């Protein structure tokens, strides 16, 4: 368990020279393990709650889709931010921009912005729903990148179905 704590807090392996400004800022703002876990759980549950609440609001006539788009996007942001409690914000940004996740991250963030634009600026419910679906797929693909061989398994499963 101690090894897991050290790895998730960034204290195990890697470049621990501490010379970089970002590294020193990350070390200065570290939280205790229990606080990190509480922050992760609260933020993740809040994200899931917002997404489920948004899905329930989808069926309200008139404003339902706009409320859904906002709550679903806020839910995804909270779920994504929850992992920052475990590994820190700078390491999270590094992993999000890693070669295997960069495309999924970019698509997810662009679709998140486009969802909100379609719901409020363009007032196009169909586009907002399409961008929510694309946002979900990109977030799923992003999440699968953390599980070894999960993307390969999903790709092969889809190839078998086609």
In a domain, 1, yes or no: no
Dihedral sign from CA coordinates of 27, 7, 146, 33: negative
Is the pTM higher than 0.85? The answer reads: no
In a domain, 4, yes or no: no
pLDDT score for 22: 55
Lowest mean pLDDT among 1-15, 25-39, 97-111, 137-151: 1-15
113: pLDDT confidence band, cut at 50, 70 and 90? very high
- Choice between 88 and 25, residue whose per-residue pLDDT is larger: 88
- Choice between 62 and 1, residue whose per-residue pLDDT is larger: 62
In a domain, 99, yes or no: yes
Compute the half-sphere exposure of residue 65: CA atoms within 13 Å on the CB side of its CA. Answer: 19
Residue 134, φ and ψ in degrees, nearest 5: -65, -35
Q: What percent of the chain has pLDDT over 90?
A: 44
pLDDT score for 18: 46
Indicate the angle between helix axes 89-96 and 21-28, nearest 10 degrees: 130
Supply the DSSP symbol for 32: -
Structural domain boundaries, residue 101: 32-161
In a domain, 26, yes or no: no
In a domain, 59, yes or no: yes
Q: Indicate the length of the chain as a whole number.
A: 162
In a domain, 21, yes or no: no
In the chain, how many domains are there? 1
In a domain, 77, yes or no: yes
38: pLDDT confidence band, cut at 50, 70 and 90? very high
CA angle in degrees (0–180, nearest 5) for 23-24-27: 85
In a domain, 7, yes or no: no
20: pLDDT confidence band, cut at 50, 70 and 90? low
Q: If we measure between CA atoms, which residue out of 15, 37, 32, 33 comes closest to residue 24? A: 15
């Amino acid at each position: 368990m101690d090894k897991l704590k050290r790895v998730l807090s960034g204290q195990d392996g890697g470049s621990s020279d501490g010379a970089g400004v970002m590294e020193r800022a990350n070390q200065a703002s570290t939280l205790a393990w229990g606080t990190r876990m509480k922050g992760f759980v609260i933020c993740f549950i809040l994200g899931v709650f917002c997404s489920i609440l948004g899905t329930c609001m989808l069926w309200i006539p008139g404003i339902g889709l706009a409320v859904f788009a906002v709550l679903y996007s806020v839910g995804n942001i909270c779920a994504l931010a929850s992992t920052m409690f475990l590994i820190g914000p700078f390491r999270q940004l590094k992993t999000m921009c890693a070669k295997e996740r960069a495309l999924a991250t970019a698509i997810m963030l662009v679709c998140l912005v486009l969802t909100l634009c379609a719901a409020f600026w363009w007032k196009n419910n169909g586009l907002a729903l399409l961008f929510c679906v694309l946002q979900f797929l990109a977030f799923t693909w992003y999440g699968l990148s953390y599980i070894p061989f999960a993307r390969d398994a999903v790709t092969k499963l889809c190839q078998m179905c086609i």
